[in-house]
Amino acid sequence: MLNADAIREGNRGRVVGGSAAALAALLAVLLLVVTSCGGTGDSAASTQDGKDGKEQKKEVPKGPSEAIVKIAPKNGADDVATTGALKVTAAQGKLTKVTVKDDDGTRIPGKIVKKGAAWKPERHLMTKTEYSVHAVAEDAEGRTSAEHTSFTTIVPADTFIGYYTPDDGDKVGVGMPVSVRFNRPIADRESVEKALSVKADPGVKIEGHWFGNNRLDFRPEKYWKAGTKVTLNLHLDGVEGANGVYGTQHKTVKFTIGRAQVSVVDAKKKTMTVLRDGKKIKQVPISAGAPATSTYNGKMVISEKHEVTRMNGDTVGFGGEYDIEDVPHAMRLSTSGTFIHGNYWAGKATFGSANTSHGCIGLFDARGGGDKSTPAAWFYDNSLVGDIVEVKNSKDETIQPDNGFSGWNMDWEDWTAAP
């Protein structure tokens, strides 16, 4: 290090200005230069920056992690419940990674909660399935610990399934709900409903409504838009629908909404106006229910189509009043027996002038249904399961929402109300 004598000898042996104050100032500058150019000062840069000026990674202390990972159920357990039994927690640290897979290698979705203290699955597990769990936690010093277990879920003695409508790949009308009928009464309706999801593209809000303990229907507030693609996911496998009764289905169903067709029947005028995408495409004469056996009012959905079918009054409470073996172009509108169908046994003049049926809507037709020029044949060929047929001005009551797919007669508030 330079001293005062050396400084005095500088600049040809003279101190510029010669004053003590100038000498002190020059000494201070030289000290700063020496320190900043590799001296041993404890500046922030010398302790935090590496050779390239970037922050150095904190060194993790050696030794075992203090974090403790716990997984329930224990390794090798069987007959494990599908809900509530799987628990992953961390003490004296926090979880950083949890992976749960079934025996097919499919990951079970879940999330780390409680600031890393626990992991929660997003849905129930499936029955008769082996699961593996791998969990990693980190303590305050960054040291990690891990646990790995596997277990097998319960094999239920009693099961239930849901029969769904529409089928996979169907093209249906704008009034078609997603309907699931269960073969066993459902006690825990909330859990079962959570295990079913219905999504649409383009998106629209869809809500479910229970009709008793065996049927759950889904629909949007208004009719589906033409061209909508709908997906039903059934994650029922592992759901305890009733005490000791578990679902067994894990399935995806996709269907498409066709063009928008709504046919309006005026029972008083004895006509039906067919609207396609909001435009009138045809009006045909009809014969609705006779005064003593009038047709229901309200919005009904075509749920079945039969080119020819038998209609027997015994099956719907009319005794032996009729038994017609070859009713052509028949389309079901209600569970209780309301159809819109071809009629060859009444004279052509009946249609548009008299209501003569036992509650069905009749259109003029030829016996056997082979004449494609008749109103009944035309309507049959131009209808989809899921199309709406709305009856007005009948002297009967409005059809009940659970009679067929008649839920459109409920307003949205009632449809979405808690059961």
With residue 36 as reference, give the H or E element that holds it: helix 20-36
Going across the sheet that includes 250-257, the strands are 171-172, 250-257, 229-235, 196-201
Q: Distance (Å, rounded) from C-alpha 41 to C-alpha 111?
A: 48
Identify whether 27 is part of a domain. no
DSSP, res 114: G
Q: What is the CATH number of the domain that holds 148?
A: 2.60.40.3780
Identify the pLDDT of residue 58. 64
For residue 12, which amino acid is it? R
Identify the pLDDT of residue 57. 61
Identify the pLDDT of residue 408. 98
Identify whether 173 is part of a domain. yes
- Both 118 and 194 in a single domain? no
Q: What is the DSSP string of 340-359?
A: EEEE-SS-GGGTTT---BSS
DSSP, res 367: G
In the block, tokens 């150095």 appear at 56
Identify the pLDDT of residue 405. 98
Is residue 202 reached through a cis peptide bond, with omega within 30 degrees of 0 on the bond before it?
yes
- Both 227 and 272 in a single domain? no
Q: Distance (Å, rounded) from C-alpha 388 to C-alpha 406?
A: 9
Q: Distance (Å, rounded) from C-alpha 289 to C-alpha 362?
A: 9
Identify whether 189 is part of a domain. yes
Is 0.75 surpassed by the pTM of this model? yes
Q: What are phi and psi of 362, to 5 degrees?
A: -105, 140
Cβ–Cβ under 8 Å, residues 285 and 352: yes
- Both 214 and 138 in a single domain? no
Identify whether 194 is part of a domain. yes
- Both 291 and 398 in a single domain? yes
Identify whether 37 is part of a domain. no
Determine the structural domain holding residue 96 and report its residue range: 68-152
Identify the pLDDT of residue 380. 98
- Both 79 and 203 in a single domain? no
Cβ–Cβ under 8 Å, residues 135 and 119: yes
Q: Which of 106, 134, 152 is the last residue of a domain?
A: 152
Identify the pLDDT of residue 55. 56
Q: 44 burial class (0-12, 13-18, 19+ CB within 10 angstroms)?
A: exposed
- Both 288 and 403 in a single domain? yes
- Both 373 and 399 in a single domain? yes
Q: Which of 152, 183, 213 is the last residue of a domain?
A: 152
Enumerate the active-site residues: 341, 360
With residue 376 as reference, give the H or E element that holds it: helix 375-381
Q: Which of 119, 134, 152 is the last residue of a domain?
A: 152
Q: How many domains does the chain have?
A: 3
Q: What is the CATH number of the domain that holds 268?
A: 2.40.440.10
Identify whether 370 is part of a domain. yes
Helix, strand, coil share of the chain (percent; to 5): 15, 40, 45
- Both 271 and 234 in a single domain? no
Q: Which is nearest to 126 in space by CA: 13, 284, 237?
A: 237
- Both 78 and 142 in a single domain? yes
Q: What is the CATH number of the domain that holds 218?
A: 2.60.40.3710
- Both 191 and 303 in a single domain? no
Identify whether 19 is part of a domain. no
Q: pLDDT per position in the chain (419 positions), as tens?
A: 444 443 344 444 333 334 444 434 434 434 343 344 344 444 333 333 444 545 556 677 888 999 999 999 999 999 999 999 999 999 999 999 999 999 999 999 999 999 999 999 999 999 999 999 999 999 999 999 999 999 999 999 999 999 999 999 999 999 999 999 999 999 999 999 999 999 999 999 999 999 999 999 999 999 999 999 999 999 999 999 999 999 999 999 999 999 999 999 999 999 999 999 999 999 999 999 999 999 999 999 999 999 999 888 777 777 767 778 899 999 999 999 999 999 999 999 999 999 999 999 999 999 999 999 999 999 999 999 999 999 999 999 999 999 999 999 999 999 999 77
Identify whether 51 is part of a domain. no
Q: Distance (Å, rounded) from C-alpha 376 to C-alpha 274?
A: 13
- Both 265 and 399 in a single domain? yes
- Both 269 and 326 in a single domain? yes
